[in-house]
């Protein structure tokens, strides 16, 4: 039974072991869509509000491929809504078809959400902040604001009750993977198998 949405958030979401469980689960769900059928199934609307979690933080991806079942106008409205919420990559600005690469971009935004505890779109940025999460994180690196890359509770929750211990090196590698997924160029984003392999390396 799924008990809440990933977008709901709570203190337990900042346990590194839960972040790992959620990340790997979403990635494997996306792998199933992209590789387990004769033709890849493109989600097209991947976002935290479409991720359901059970009591053990195992995720379930909902609404996969829904945009393909709608008429063109409704499908376009769904993609526009995804854009407004911060999950649509640059190449979809002109409303080209969703693809495996656009799903990877959306996954990257979700990974950044998990790591930072921030919304994909900051509706009230300060003058020196970018409203868009990937840009905010990129600017944090350029400004050497490393503490902005992750929610402080991640390290605070890193106690003996957490099944997987976390180091700043792990956090940095997780961040680098998320940013690779959010690359403005679709051709240099990792594919889903590469994402899973990298996540497993970071976790283990």
Q: Which of 7-21, 65-79, 120-134, 141-155 has the lowest mean pLDDT?
A: 65-79
pLDDT value at position 94? 58
Which fold, 2-203? Transferase(Phosphotransferase); domain 1 (1.10.510)
* Mean pLDDT, rounded, for 42-52: 88
pLDDT at 79 over 80: no
Q: Which of 47-51, 103-107, 153-157 has the lowest mean pLDDT?
A: 153-157
pLDDT value at position 125? 65
Q: What Cα–Cα distance (Å) separates residue 48 from each residue in 73, 162, 171?
A: 24, 23, 20
Rounding to the nearest 10 degrees, give the CA dihedral for residues 93, 35, 4, 162.
-110
What pTM was computed for the model? 0.85
pLDDT at 159 over 80: no
| Beta strand 59-61 pairing with 51-54 | antiparallel
**Which is nearest to 153 in space by CA: 117, 179, 105, 200?**
117
pLDDT at 177 over 90: yes
pLDDT digits (tens, 9 = 90+) for 93-142: 655 678 899 999 999 999 999 999 888 887 766 666 666 899 889 888 88
Task: Judge whether 21 and 81 are in contact, CB under 8 Å.
Answer: no
């Amino acid at each position: 039974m799924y008990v809440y949405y990933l977008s709901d958030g709570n203190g337990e979401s900042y346990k590194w072991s839960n972040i790992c469980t959620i990340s790997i689960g979403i990635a494997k769900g996306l792998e199933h869509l992209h590789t387990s059928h004769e033709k890849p199934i493109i989600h097209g609307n991947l976002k935290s509000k479409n991720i359901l979690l059970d009591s053990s933080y195992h995720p379930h991806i909902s609404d996969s491929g829904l945009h393909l079942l709608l008429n063109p106008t409704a499908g376009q409205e769904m993609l526009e809504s995804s854009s407004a919420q911060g999950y649509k990559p640059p190449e979809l600005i002109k409303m080209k078809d969703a693809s495996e690469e656009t799903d990877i971009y959306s996954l990257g935004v979700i990974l950044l959400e998990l790591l930072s505890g921030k919304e994909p779109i900051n509706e009230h940025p300060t003058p020196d902040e970018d409203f868009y999460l990937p840009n905010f994180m990129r600017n944090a690196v350029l400004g050497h604001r490393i503490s902005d890359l992750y929610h402080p509770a991640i390290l605070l929750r890193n106690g003996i009750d957490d099944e997987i211990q976390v180091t700043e090196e792990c956090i940095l590698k997780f961040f680098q993977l998320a940013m690779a997924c959010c690359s403005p160029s679709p051709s240099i984003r990792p594919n889903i198998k590469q994402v899973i392999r990298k996540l497993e390396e970071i976790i283990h």
